[in-house]
Structure 1
């Protein structure tokens, strides 16, 4: 198995994209520490290769303690996936300083200090892989997403900087920029529309592959980026969106 003997830390791994990553990591033979505030569901909580570490990602001291706890539990860390994030909609005119600061604290500051906390453990293992979850909204933007797009654009830039700074320690850093991924939240959004079937069909038609993505699609790519097969790949932001952003609008 690709990740046999590896230990991964995944933030926000209990649901959505994070859950797809965790499930694929477990299938690839890794042990996984899930760092998040919410408890895990029964299936994940009872898995022998999963540890839940409660943490408030706005608190840098809690971050360091949680990472150290994960390393102690499994005997080290080989992989860090900075997945946890948040999103809200607000116009440029209406964004408050408090909203902006919260978005940056969770989406941009936390990944930096999670990486900082993981570095001693990665160095002890002789290197490792960091995967940051960005977004196609770090490349383009939807209306009223200025704060979210700024945070994800920051993740993309920080990923490249991490790759430059950490390469000599044999630590690689890449980012995945997902497009529309089917999660509980996105399904609730579609279900709440007046004609959800038509909205779903129109959304699928935006993608050359004919469908939206799944958390497992993201998980498959993250497994590759975390594994030894990607040993010469670092500093990249990989768009995973079923071809949506590659497709030109009709003339």
Structure 2
């Protein structure tokens, strides 16, 4: 785990996990533009995270920092404590925790391995819960909030061939609702259920086939994919909305209205 220290100010602080690229980076950029100091968490994309932080610090000095860590550290209480302290020490406070880091790949029944379960549950359910618990005292101090990025396929319409991922996101969805009750009134907890807001990179193990892409696009009433900025706008809305907690906002261009599950 690596961390760079920055000078403390009174500006609020947002931590975004998995924030080096794509949706995470868009959230960081939008939050920074609104005056937040940002902590950019990454694991394997440190180069991109450092480039993003450098760009933001050029706009406003000592306003963006990078923490590099494998979220598997939540399995070790000592490492989780060190990670938590590193986060707090960065700017001296935490106001908004955004759970964005996620793994996504197919797990066809018959080929599911324990490794798949451990990996998908870790990023999509276990790490968000244990990190939320670890940062709870600091979030209570700031009367802050937790915002989780979910998936419409973890709510009611499962994605065919992705059983473990669907289960993990469903667990994360229930975490949001459970923590909203348990942490109220000091900490607000809400989620954003995504549809086809951004597709996996073609050269990754998360890549979708051309047929899957065509089917997804044809199922969206808005007839287009979403953009990361749609999600970033919603994150900032939830961060400032003091009377919203336990809410799951769907951002999918209407796709959840047209699918009954089983789309692959």
TM-score bracket, normalised by the shorter chain, equals 0.7 to 0.9
In the comparison of the two structures, how many residue pairs are matched?
237
**Post-superposition CA distance 1:61-118 (Å, at most 9, x none):** 4343223212212120000001101012121222112211221122111001110121
Length-normalised TM-score, structure 2 = 0.82
Stretches of 4+ aligned residues off by more than 6 angstroms: none
CA RMSD of superposed structures (Å): 2.3
Within a 5 Å distance, the mapping from 1:207-222 to structure 2 comes to 207-222=220-235
Match of 1:154 among 163, 171, 196: 171
Q: 164, 172, 182: which one pairs with 2:188?
A: 172
Q: 1:31 aligns with which of 28, 37, 61?
A: 37
Q: Distance in 1 between matches of 2:30 and 2:202?
A: 21
Structure 2 unpaired stretches of 5+: 1-9, 58-62
Give, in angstroms, the shift of residue 203 of structure 1. Answer: 4.3
- Name the CA distance, whole Å, in 2 between partners of 1:187 and 1:153: 27
Scaled by the length of structure 1, the TM-score of the pair is 0.86
Q: Is the 8 A contact 1:163 1:234 kept in 2?
A: yes
Consecutive unaligned residues of structure 1, counting only runs of 5 or more, are none
The aligned counterpart of 2:51 is 43
Partners of 1:75 and 1:10 lie apart in 2 by 16
After the TM superposition, which of the residue ranges 206-215 and 173-182 deviates more from structure 2? 206-215
Which of 89, 106, 122 does residue 105 from structure 1 map onto?
122
> How does 1:38-187 map onto structure 2 within 5 Å?
38=44, 39-41=46-48, 42-46=50-54, 47-48=56-57, 49-60=63-74, 61-125=78-142, 127-139=143-155, 140-168=157-185, 170-183=186-199, 185=201
Q: Deviations over 1:132-186 (max 9, x none)?
A: 1110110211221100000000011110000000003x20000111001225626
